[in-house]
Chains A and B, each alone.
Chain A
Amino acid sequence: MPRTDERLMVRASRNRTECRPVAATEPLSFQDLILTLHAYWSEQGCAILQPYDIEVGAGTLHPSTVLRALGKKPWKAAYVQPSRRPGDGRYGENPNRLQHYYQYQVILKPNPDNLQELYLNSLKAIGIDPSLHDIRFVEDDWENPTVGAWGLGWEVWCDGMEVTQFTYFQGVGGIEVDVVSGELTYGLERLAMYVQGVDNVYDLKFNKEGLTYGEVFLENERQQSEANFHGYDVAGLKRRFEDMEAEASRLLSMTGPQGQPLVLPAYDQVLKASHLFNLMDARGAIAVAERQSYIGRIRDLCKACATAQVEQERREEAAAEAKNA
Chain B
Amino acid sequence: MSQLLIEIFSEEIPARMQQGGARDLERMASDAFKKAGLTWESLTTYGGPRRLTLVVEGLPAATPDLNEELKGPKTSAPAQALEGFLRKTGLTQDQLVERDGVYYAQVSQKGRATTEVVAETLDHIFHTMSWPKSQRWGSGSFRWVRPIHRIIALFDGAVIPYALDLGSTIGGEGKKIVASNVTEGHRFMGAGQPFEVTDFADYRTKLERNFVVLSFEDRKAKVLDGAKAVCAAKGLELVDDIGLLDEVAGLAEWPTPILGDMDPQFLALPPEVVRLSMKVHQKYFAVSQPGAEGLAPHYVVVANVEAADRGKALAAGNTKVLSARLNDARFFWEEDQKVGFDKWNEKLSGVTFHAKLGTMAERVERIAKLAAEIAPLVGADAAEAEKAARLSKADLASGMVGEFPELQGIMGGYYARLAGQPDAIADAIRDHYKPQGPSDSVPTAPLTVAIALADKIDTLVGFFAIDEKPTGSKDPYALRRAALGTIRLVEASDVRMPLMTAILNGLAAIAVGAQKSGFTHIQEGEKIFDVNKIDIKPFVSKDRFILYGILDKETAELGSVSIEDQREYLGGEIVVPSLLAFFADRLTVLLRDQGQRHDLVAAVFALGDDDLVRIVSRVEALSGFLATDDGANLLAGYKRASNILKAEEKKGALPSGEVSTSMANQPTEEVALANATATADAAVNMALETEDFAAAMTALAALRAPVDAFFNGVMVNSDVAEERDNRLKLLVQVREVMGRVADFGQIAG
Interface pick from B311-319, B388-396, B574-582, B684-692: B311-319
A134 lies within 8 A of B303 (CB)? yes
Q: Is the CB of A113 within 8 A of B138?
A: yes
**A-side contacts of B283, CB under 8 Å:** 160
B149 at the interface (CB under 8 A from A): yes
The 4 A-B pairs with the shortest beta carbon distances in the complex, nearest first, are: A159-B317, A139-B14, A12-B308, A137-B12
| Residue numbers in B under 8 Å from A96 (CB-CB) | 324
CB nearest neighbor in B for A134: B303
Q: Report the minimal beta-carbon distance from A7 to chain B, rounded to whole angstroms.
A: 8
**Judging by beta carbons under 8 Å apart, are A179 and B303 in contact?**
no
Q: Which residues of A contact B (CB under 8 A)?
A: 4, 8-9, 11-12, 14, 72, 95-96, 110-113, 116, 120, 130-139, 141, 151-152, 154, 158-161, 168, 170, 178-180, 194, 199, 288-289
Contact of A133 among B135, B146, B317 (CB under 8 A): B317
Whether A132 and B136, one on each chain, are in contact in the complex, defined by CB atoms closer than 8 angstroms, is: no
- Interface on B for A, CB 8 Å cutoff? 11-12, 14-16, 133-140, 146-147, 149, 169-170, 187-189, 192, 251-252, 282-284, 301, 303-309, 313-314, 316-318, 320-322, 324, 350-352
List residues of chain B with CB within 8 A of the CB of A288.
350-352
CA distance in complex: A179, B140 (Å) = 8
Residue of A nearest to B140 (CB): A180
In the bound assembly, the distance between CA atoms of A95 and B305 in angstroms comes to 30
Q: Which residue of B lies closest to A73 (CB)?
A: B170
Contacts of A72 in B (CB 8 A): 139, 169-170
A199 touches B320 (CB 8 A): yes
Q: A72-B170, A131-B308, A134-B307 are in contact. Are A160 and B135 (CB under 8 A)?
A: no
A96, closest chain B residue (CB) = B324
Q: Which residues of B contact A139 (CB under 8 A)?
A: 12, 14-16
Instruction: Specify the chain A residue showing the minimal Cβ separation from B316.
Output: A159
Q: Which residues of A contact B304 (CB under 8 A)?
A: 134-136
- Contact between A132 and B314, CB atoms less than 8 A apart: yes
Closest partner residue, chain A, to B312 (CB atom): A132
**Complex formed: what's the CA distance from A170 to B306 in Å?**
35
C-alpha spacing A135/B134, complex, angstroms: 23
Given A131-B305, A134-B303, A288-B350: 13 more A-B contacts, CB < 8 Å: A4-B306, A8-B306, A112-B138, A132-B314, A136-B304, A138-B251, A152-B133, A159-B313, A160-B282, A160-B318, A160-B322, A168-B135, A180-B135
Residues of A within 8 A of B351 (CB): 288
> In the complex, A152 Cα to B318 Cα: how many Å?
26
What are some 28 contacts across the A-B interface (CB < 8 A)? Answer: A8-B306, A11-B192, A110-B138, A112-B138, A113-B138, A113-B147, A113-B149, A132-B307, A132-B308, A133-B313, A134-B301, A134-B303, A134-B307, A134-B314, A135-B188, A135-B304, A139-B12, A154-B12, A159-B321, A160-B321, A161-B320, A168-B136, A168-B147, A179-B169, A180-B135, A180-B140, A288-B350, A288-B351
Roughly how many angstroms separate A154 CA and B188 CA in the complex, as a whole number? 18
Residues from chain A with a CB closer than 8 A to the CB of B140 are 180
Complex: A161 Cα to B12 Cα, angstroms: 18
- A137 near B16 with CB under 8 A, answer no
In the complex the two chains form, what is the Cα distance from A136 to B352 in whole Å? Answer: 38
Most chain B beta-carbon neighbours within 10 Å: one of A9, A14, A138, A199: A138
Q: Determine the chain A residues whose CB is within 8 A of the CB of B320 once the complex forms.
A: 159, 161, 199
The CA of A289 and the CA of B283, in the complex, are separated in Å by: 35
Closest Cβ–Cβ distance, residue B229 to chain A (whole Å): 14
Q: Are A179 and B314 in contact (CB under 8 A)?
A: no
Q: How far is the CB of B307 from chain A (nearest CB, A)?
A: 5
Contact B138 A111 (CB under 8 A): yes
Contact (Cβ within 8 A) A159 B314: yes
A173 to B305, CA, bound (A): 40
Which listed residue (B11, B192, B317) contacts A194, Cβ 8 A? B317
Closest chain-B Cβ to A138's Cβ sits at a distance in Å of 7
Asked if residues A9 and B308 are in contact (CB atoms below 8 Å), the reply is yes
Asked if B301 and A160 make an inter-chain contact with CB atoms under 8 angstroms apart, the answer reads yes
- Measured CB to CB, the nearest residue on chain A to B331 is A94
Complex Cα distance, B464 from A208, in Å, reads: 67
The chain B residue with its CB closest to the CB of A139 is: B14
A178 to B84, CA, bound (A): 46
Q: How far is the CB of A65 from chain B (nearest CB, A)?
A: 17
List B contacts of A134 (CB < 8 A). Answer: 301, 303-305, 307, 314, 317-318
B321 and A161 contact, CB distance less than 8 A = yes
**In the assembled complex, which residues on chain B have CB atoms less than 8 Å from the CB atom of A168?**
135-137, 147
Contact A110 B188 (CB under 8 A): no
Known A139-B16, A178-B170; contact A158-B317, beta-carbon cutoff 8 A: yes
Contact A180 B138 (CB under 8 A): yes
Per the bound structure, the CA–CA distance linking A11 and B307 in Å amounts to: 10
Q: Which of B133, B169, B189, B307 lies in contact with A178, CB distance below 8 A?
A: B169
Residues of B contacting A110 in the complex (Cβ-Cβ under 8 angstroms):
137-139
Choice from B12, B138, B252, B282 contacting A179 with Cβ under 8 Å: B138
Asked whether B307 lies within 8 Å of A131 as measured between CB atoms, the reply is: yes
Report the minimal beta-carbon distance from B131 to chain A, rounded to whole angstroms. 10
Q: B212 to nearest A CB, angstroms?
A: 14
Complex Cα–Cα for A14 and B192 (A): 10
Contact residues in A for B307 (Cβ distance below 8 Å): 131-134
Contact A116 B11 (CB under 8 A): yes
In the assembled complex, the Cα of A158 lies from the Cα of B16 at a distance in Å of 21
Min CB distance, B198 to chain A, in Å? 23
Pick the residue among B139, B188, B316 that contacts A131 (CB under 8 A).
B188
- Tell whether, in the assembled complex, residue A111 and residue B170 are in contact, meaning their CB atoms are under 8 Å apart: no
What is the CA–CA distance of A131 and B147 in the complex, to the nearest angstrom? 25
B15: nearest residue on chain A (CB-CB)?
A139
Q: In the complex, what residue of chain A is closest to B192 when comparing beta carbons?
A: A14
Please name the residue on chain B nearest to A179 by beta carbon.
Answer: B139
Closest to A72 in B: B170
B321 near A11 (CB under 8 angstroms)?
A: no
B residues less than 8 Å from A135 (CB atoms): 188, 304-305
CA distance A178 to B138 in the complex (A): 9
Q: In the complex, which of the residues B139, B146, B308, B316 has the most CB atoms of chain A within 10 Å of its own CB atom?
A: B308
Measured CB to CB, the nearest residue on chain B to A154 is B12
Residues on A with C-beta less than 8 A from B134 are: 152
Instruction: Check B192–A170 contact: CB distance below 8 A.
Output: no
Residues of A contacting B308 with CB < 8 Å?
Answer: 8-9, 11-12, 131-132
- Inter-chain CA distance A130–B309, complex, in Å, is 12
Contact A132 B170 (CB under 8 A): no
B248 smallest CB distance to A (angstroms): 10
Measured CB to CB, the nearest residue on chain A to B307 is: A132
Q: How far is the CB of B298 from chain A (nearest CB, A)?
A: 15
Contacts of A130 in B (CB 8 A): 187-188, 305
A8 to B140, CA, bound (A): 38
Q: Shortest CB–CB separation between residue A204 and chain B, in angstroms?
A: 14
Residues of A within 8 A of B139 (CB): 72, 110, 178-180
Chain B residue nearest to A130 in the complex (CB): B188
A170 adjacent to B136 (CB under 8 Å): yes
Picked from A136, A180, A289, the residue with its CB within 8 Å of the CB of B252 is A136
Asked if residues B305 and A137 are in contact (CB atoms below 8 Å), the reply is no
Q: How far does the Cβ of B357 sit from chain A's closest Cβ, in whole Å?
A: 16
